[in-house]
Structure 1
Amino acid sequence: MPASSPVVLVTGAARRIGAAIARRLHADGYAVALHCHHSRGDADALATALEAQRTGSTLVLEGDLADPGVLPGLVAGTVARFGRLDALVNNAAAFAPTAFADTDAAAFDALMATNARAPFLLAQAAAPHLRASRGAIVNIGDLYAERPRADLVAYAASKAALLGLTRGLAVALAPEVRVNAVSPGAILWPEDGADATRQAHILQATPLARLGTSGEIADAVAWLLRGGFMTGEVLRLDGGRSI
C-alpha cells in the first residue's frame, strides 16, 4: 500500500451502509480502517475481500463506541498501521424505537453515548491527524433528527445532537478540516422486519416513492470527502421526504 494513499476510519463498517461506504472509499484508493462491535466476522470477511483487491489496504478494529476509553485507540491504531489519517466517517449508530413514556435515563444515555458522544470524542482524537492531512469528517445523521417520530424521541434527539456537532466541529476545526453530514431517509428496512403498513406509509411519504440504496449514501460520502468549499452542511438523501 503506497504511503501516499489516503486513509479513512469508518465506524460501523462491517455491514449494511457502513460496509458500502468502506467498499466505495476503498475503490477510490483509500486504505480503510474498518471498525466493528458485534459483527467481527462480517468485518473480517469484508477486509479479506478488500485485501484481495489491494494487499495491505485494510485494518479491522473492534470496540464498543459507548465506552469512551475505547475511542482514542481506534484513531491511534489506524495511525499506527497506516502512518496517517485523512478522513473519519462516523457511521455507527444505536437505534432503539421506544415509546416516550418508556424511555428511561439509561436508554437515553446509551443512545447519546454512541450517536453523539462517540463522534465528538473520535473527532477530538483524530483532530491533530486530520489537521496535518487537511482532511475531512463525514457524520451519518438521520431524517428523524429533523422530523422525529413519537417512538423515536430519544434517538431523534441523539441524531439532532450529531447534526449540531457537525456544525460546531466545522467551526472548531476550520480551516484545515472540513466537517459535513449526510442525513439519509429510508435506505434499508430493519433486519428484524418492518411492519408492512409502516413501510407503505414511508414510501407514500417519499416523493420518489422508493427506498434509497447504500450505494447512494456511499457516493455522497465519497463526494463530501473529495474536497471543495463545503463545510458545516447537512446533505439530505431522503427521496424528498423532508420537503
Structure 2
Amino acid sequence: MQGKTVLVTGGAKRVGAAICRRLHAAGANVVIHYRSSAYEAFALRAELNGLRENSAFCAQADLLDPDALRAMVTEGIQFCGRLDALVNNASSFYATTLEGINAAQWNDLTGTNLKAPLLLAQAAAAELRRRHGAIVNIVDIHAERPMHGHLLYSVAKAGLTALTRGLAQELAPQVRVNAVAPGVIIWPEGEAWSDEEARRKIVAHTLLKREGEPDDIARTVQFLIADAPYITGQIIAVDGGRSINI
C-alpha cells in the first residue's frame, strides 16, 4: 500500500473510519469522503496527518449528485497525483415495507447503495486501469437473503452484488473488483435496533456466537486491495457464519 491512494466513501466514522485507519497504517494515502459528518471527517484527517504528514484528505459529496461524484474522483486524483483503489462503503439503511415504498425512498436507497458506486467506478475507471487498481464494494449478507421489512435496501444491495461481478468483467484485466458482505459488525443507529433481546437473538444465529468488529471488515478490504492479485468478481462474507445459519 506504500504510496498508493485510496478513496473511501463514508470514511468518516464507523466501518468506513476503520477502513481508512487500516489502509493508512499499511502506507496508503486516504481520501475520506463524507456527506454531513464533517466533524468526524476532519478529526480523522487530523489524526492520520498527525501520524504521516499530508497523507489524508477530506472530500464532501452528496452521493445522489452525479456531478459531485465526478468532482470527488478528480479531487482524489489531484490529492496525490494518482488513485489506486476505490472503496464503496457509504450506504443509506432503513426499513421499507412493500406498501409504504415511495419514490424518495427508491431514489435514496438505490441511489446511495447502487447508482453512486456505479458512477464512481465509471469516473475512476480510466485512472484505475492506468494504475492496475482495485474496487471493493461493501454489500450485505442480506443481498442474497433479504431482510424482512427492508425490501428496498435488500434489493439495492443485491444490485450492488451484481454490479461487483459486472464491473469485474468490464474492467478486466487491469482492474480487480470484489465485495465484502458484513454480518453483525456495528448495530445500525436508531431506536429500532436498541432492543438487547432482539440483538441477542440475531447474534445467536452466528456460528461464532459473537459480534464482529469494524476492523474485521477493514482487514478484508486491505486483503482484497493489496494481497489478492488473482481474486476478482468475488463476494466475501465476513459475518461469523450467520449467512449459512439464518
- TM interval, shorter chain, is over 0.9
CA drift of 1:213 comes to 0.5
Q: TM-score, normalised by structure 1?
A: 0.96
**Counterpart position of 1:17:** 15
Q: Does 1:166 align with 2:164?
A: yes
CA RMSD of aligned residues (A): 1.0
Question: What is the aligned partner in structure 1 of residue 242 from structure 2?
Answer: 241
SS of the counterpart of 2:243?
Answer: coil
Native 8 Å contact 1:100 1:150 kept in 2: no
| Corresponding residue number in structure 1 for 2:210 | 210
| Structure 2 gap segments, 5+ residues each | none
1:95-154: CA deviation from partner (whole Å, max 9, x where unpaired)? 011222111122122100110000000000000100010000000001111111221110
Task: State the alpha-carbon separation in 1 of the partners of residues 142 and 106 from structure 2.
Answer: 16
Query: CA shift at 1:68, angstroms?
Result: 1.3
Match of 1:150 in 2: 148
Three-state SS of the structure 1 residue aligned to 2:187 is coil
Aligned residue in 1 for 2:185: 187
| CA apart distance, 1:196 | 2.4
Amino acid at match of 2:134: A
Where does residue 74 of structure 2 map in the other structure? 76
How many Å separate the matches in 1 of 2:27 and 2:237?
Answer: 26
Q: CA deviation at 1:198?
A: 2.1
- Does structure 2 retain, via aligned residues, the 8 Å contact 1:14–1:43? yes
| 8 A Cα contact 1:141 1:184, kept in partner | yes
Q: Which amino acid aligns with 1:205?
A: H
1:154, 1:213 → 2: CA distance? Answer: 26
How many aligned residue pairs are there?
240
Identity score, percent: 47
1:87 equivalent to 2:85? Answer yes
Q: Partner residue of 2:231?
A: 230
TM-score normalised by length of structure 2: 0.95
- Does structure 2 conserve the Cα–Cα contact (< 8 Å) formed by 1:75 and 1:126? yes
| Pairing 1:90-169 to 2, within 5 Å after superposition | 90-169=88-167
Measured in 1, the distance between the counterparts of 2:185 and 2:172 equals 31
Residue 49 of structure 1 is matched in structure 2 by 47
Structure 1 spans left out of the alignment, 5+ residues: none
After the TM superposition, which parts of structure 1 deviate over 4 Å for at least 4 consecutive aligned residues? none
